[in-house]
Amino acid sequence: MPSKRSCGRRYQSLLCPTAKTWGLTYDDGPAFYTTQLLDYLDTANLKSTFFVVGSRVISFPAVLQAEYMAQHQIAVHTWSHPALTTLTNEQIIAELGWTKKAIKDVLGVTPNMMRPPFGDIDDRVRAISMAMGLVPVMWTRISPTETFDTGDFEVHGGTTTVQQVMSNWQGIMNNVTQRQDGFIVLEHDLFQQTVEIATGYILPDAQARGLTIEPVSTCLKRPMADAYIETNNNQTNPPPSGSGAKSISAPSPTSTDQGGTNIGNSSSSGGSGSSGSGAVPSLHFGTAAVLTTFAGVLAGLLSVF
Ligand SMILES: [Zn+2]
């Protein structure tokens, strides 16, 4: 949750393309104070993306349902908030897969975006995420050490102050006015302090500046329906099991390698579509597949979810 900044490799993260457009996100809920944030967003007629923690989804299912029913976007933020690059393949799959399942059990839909805790990601984590149909979404990075992190999470632990968070936000806003594209900021809905900073200062300031504020899915010019496997009508992103079997029995010529080759490329964002298209058919028609060791282990584990 705090500010680990390691990234194994430079990558192109998803960006909202339109200037002065903020892809609004909150991490680490659902939690007790999330409701306070939802009330503000509702009053202001704003929608957000929530990267939720699976273990908290089962603790606060009604809060997650309130988020979803209010048409906010729900996405995955792991089960127990570990640094994913430190985990084995199997552990990463469990972190993401059980969170997907918890969300599906509570909402009936399966998200197709994820955010790695601490922004900790490398090619391996990215590949597993994409194979599981989850496109990684980071927050805006303007240099190896400078990101659009409000630092709000550190207030609760006393390692930063509200004043510092407000200053961080102003720094972000100063940068935003120079940008040709939109932006994404790291904020949290876990603690009372983070919610109060958001509703008492950051959101009103952003509104006063006339920024366009919307969830990641729509800031990427995609309809909200594309944020979930069950409601996504993109033919290259079939559901992982069951009803999708018929449509993926005749995969398109490109379907076997898209999931891997487009990883980390911003062009893949449009394509939630590419996610998982390689691994999923192998699960349904595994008898014919000759899998590499990695892909075999991955596909076998993915079949759990
Ligand atoms: Zn987090």
Does pLDDT of 281 surpass 90? no
Does pLDDT of 224 surpass 50? yes
- Rounded to the nearest angstrom, the distance between the alpha carbon of 304 and the centre of ligand 1 is 25
Q: How far is CA 54 from CA 106, 167, 276, in A?
A: 11, 32, 21
> Would you call the peptide bond into 30 cis, given omega within 30 degrees of 0 as the criterion?
yes
- Rounded to the nearest angstrom, the distance between the alpha carbon of 252 and the centre of ligand 1 is 36
- Rounded to the nearest angstrom, the distance between the alpha carbon of 247 and the centre of ligand 1 is 36
Which contacts (CB < 8 Å, 24+ apart) does range 165-172 have? 165/197, 166/197, 166/201, 169/201, 169/202, 169/205, 172/148
The predicted pLDDT at position 10 comes to 43
Least confident of 61-70, 79-88, 248-257: 248-257
- Rounded to the nearest angstrom, the distance between the alpha carbon of 208 and the centre of ligand 1 is 27
pTM: 0.77
- Rounded to the nearest angstrom, the distance between the alpha carbon of 117 and the centre of ligand 1 is 5
Which residues are designated catalytic?
27, 188
pLDDT one-digit tens code per residue, 129-174: 999 999 999 999 998 889 999 999 999 999 999 999 999 999 999 9
Read off the pLDDT of each residue in 49-70 and give the average, rounded to a whole number. 98
Instruction: Round to the nearest angstrom and report the end-to-end CA distance of the chain.
Output: 26
- Rounded to the nearest angstrom, the distance between the alpha carbon of 238 and the centre of ligand 1 is 28
Angle between helices 293-302 and 89-107 (to 10 degrees): 30
- Rounded to the nearest angstrom, the distance between the alpha carbon of 188 and the centre of ligand 1 is 7
The predicted pLDDT at position 280 comes to 33
Least confident of 25-39, 235-249, 257-271: 257-271
The predicted pLDDT at position 234 comes to 61
